[in-house]
Amino acid sequence: MKNEAFKSIGGRVRNYRLNRGFSQDELAEGICSRQTISFLENGQHLPSPEFLKKIADRLGVPFHEIMIDDTDELSAKIKLEVINIYIERNEYTRALDLIDHLQNSQELLEYQKRELELSKVDCLLGTNQPDAALEALTDLQMRLELQREPDDHLMAVVYNKLGTANYRLWNISNAHAHYMRAYQLTLRFQGIDVTAARIAYNLGMASRLLNLNTDAVQYLSVSENFFKDISDLDKLAHTWFELGIAYQSMGDLGEAEKYLQEAHTLYKSQNALRFARLVKESYAFTVLSKQDPDKAIDEMFECAKETEHDGDLKQVAYIHARIAKLLIGQKRLTEAEKVLEKALTLFTEKEASSCLHFVHVYQSFAEYLCEIKQYEKSIQYSYLASDLFDKMGFIKDAAESLSTAVNAFRYQGMFEQALEVSDRVCNMLRRATHLR
């Protein structure tokens, strides 16, 4: 049966090659020998899925078109490799179908079963099912820890994915705790590898989100050095972006500008235009706004327009919240009102409870309401934003939102209430400091 699968796959490769006018030599160039292509097309040999992925890319056809209907006859090892390629290409439904088919296979070795479980978690995360991923990972974690000497590398991977599941649920404190456990396990590795570098990046990102910026720079520098050494330009650009934001939060605008500009240049060279736009907006808000606020606002409006064209309404709302902050700072309140009115139409209160981007709109709206002396409503939105930030683990953002309520009470002459809320702000900031 395997020979039939080999012939079927090889036959499709041959048909696609002929349809596209390639000779065997042209298809093989830079990938393999002409003889290997000949063996493949005649069903005499089936190379690795990674090899077939390169062939599919050269032919300009989807990988699954090469593999279609023939994976049932392949070995468990090859099926696992095919699953990984589907996940790499975000074809999660195809990966899940193959995972479901393979789960009850008697030929799976114990380590392959673990690999299959983790692949399923990747699919759950990729299809926006973080709750299901968290449940599956927690079960796997408990089973692995019952072993006498669990494998450090495997446990680091599991804790890293637990961090990611919590991150997707906007539980940043829990995400940070799991990433930290994963990072501690990587310290037992023989050296920094791809897994360790990715964990360091995730821990740096979570630390930055919790305003632990000195820690963030430390962990991100680990990933920066590794990704630079192996020339992984995609991961390096992400790391530089995070470092830029961390340095800005530390008040080091020189380093912030350097890293954000490097990230922007690298994203553009990779044609990663969405990420390049994220960097441009971040640079405008964090650095350019200190030098030329009007130009910063113009560039952020341009980013918002392009982002809306792409259909990313969460990011549009977030950019508008940040534009509003700058406008409020310049006392351009009529313009701030229009920006916030649009942002508030992009989501419901239920959606805001699970999305950080939308909570920032509430925070900016509370500041705007305080400026126009609608104090009661400002206090309402200040509390709402603070509670949501706190639940997500963004304690400093929660404290900042409550500070707006302090001002609103003070402007009304309600000094006892202002003092009470101010004490809450101080307690929150102490909690944030204690996270270190």
Q: How far is CA 117 from the centre of its chain?
A: 21
Kindly indicate the confidence band of residue 376, based on its pLDDT and cuts at 50, 70 and 90: very high
Q: Could you say which DSSP state residue 73 is in? A: G
Question: Is the pLDDT at 340 greater than 60, yes or no?
Answer: yes
With beta carbons less than 8 A apart as the criterion, state whether 296 and 289 touch. yes
**How far is residue 358's CA from residue 338's CA, in Å, rounded to a whole number?**
16
Kindly give, in sequence order, each residue whose CB lies less than 8 Å from that of residue 64, ignoring residues fewer than 6 positions away.
86, 91, 94
Q: Could you say which DSSP state residue 189 is in? A: S
Question: Is the pLDDT at 146 greater than 90, yes or no?
Answer: no
What's residue 1's pLDDT? 40
Kindly indicate the confidence band of residue 106, based on its pLDDT and cuts at 50, 70 and 90: confident
Q: Could you say which DSSP state residue 71 is in? A: G
160 vs 55, residue with greater confidence: 160
What average pLDDT score do residues 227-249 get? 96
Residue 410's identity, in one-letter code, is R
Closest among 259, 323, 250, 257 to 293, alpha carbons compared: 323
- Residue for token digits 């408990």? 142
In the structure encoding, which two tokens stand for residue 271, read together? Answer: 């044609």
What average pLDDT score do residues 350-363 get? 92
Q: Which of 212-221, 243-252, 346-355 has the least mean pLDDT? A: 346-355
Average pLDDT over all residues of the chain: 91
Q: Which of 174-178, 260-264, 333-337, 345-349 has the least mean pLDDT? A: 345-349
Instruction: Tell whether the torsion through CA atoms of 252, 388, 164 and 126 is positive or negative.
Output: negative
**How far is residue 200's CA from residue 222's CA, in Å, rounded to a whole number?**
6
Closest among 89, 178, 102, 181 to 133, alpha carbons compared: 178
Residue 84: its H or E element: helix 76-88
Q: What is the pLDDT of residues 56-96, one digit of tens each?
A: 899 998 888 887 655 666 778 888 988 999 999 889 999 99
Largest CA distance in the chain: 87
Residue 135: its H or E element: helix 130-145
Report which listed range, 15-29, 42-56, 358-372, is most confident: 358-372
**How far is residue 124's CA from residue 140's CA, in Å, rounded to a whole number?**
15
Instruction: Tell whether the torsion through CA atoms of 14, 17, 23 and 24 is positive or negative.
Output: negative
In the structure encoding, which two tokens stand for residue 120, read together? Answer: 């399923």
**How far is residue 326's CA from residue 340's CA, in Å, rounded to a whole number?**
12
392 vs 339, residue with greater confidence: 339
Question: Is the pLDDT at 3 greater than 70, yes or no?
Answer: no
**How far is residue 182's CA from residue 180's CA, in Å, rounded to a whole number?**
5
Report which listed range, 33-42, 123-132, 426-435, is most confident: 123-132
In the structure encoding, which two tokens stand for residue 148, read together? Answer: 């006498």
Q: What percent of the chain has pLDDT over 70?
A: 96
With beta carbons less than 8 A apart as the criterion, state whether 275 and 241 touch. yes
Kindly indicate the confidence band of residue 49, based on its pLDDT and cuts at 50, 70 and 90: confident
Question: Is the pLDDT at 412 greater than 60, yes or no?
Answer: yes
Q: How far is CA 258 from the centre of its chain?
A: 22
In the structure encoding, which two tokens stand for residue 26, read together? Answer: 């042209």
Please tell me the pTM assigned to this model. 0.85
21 conformational bin, left if phi > 0, alpha if psi -120 to 50, beta if neither: left
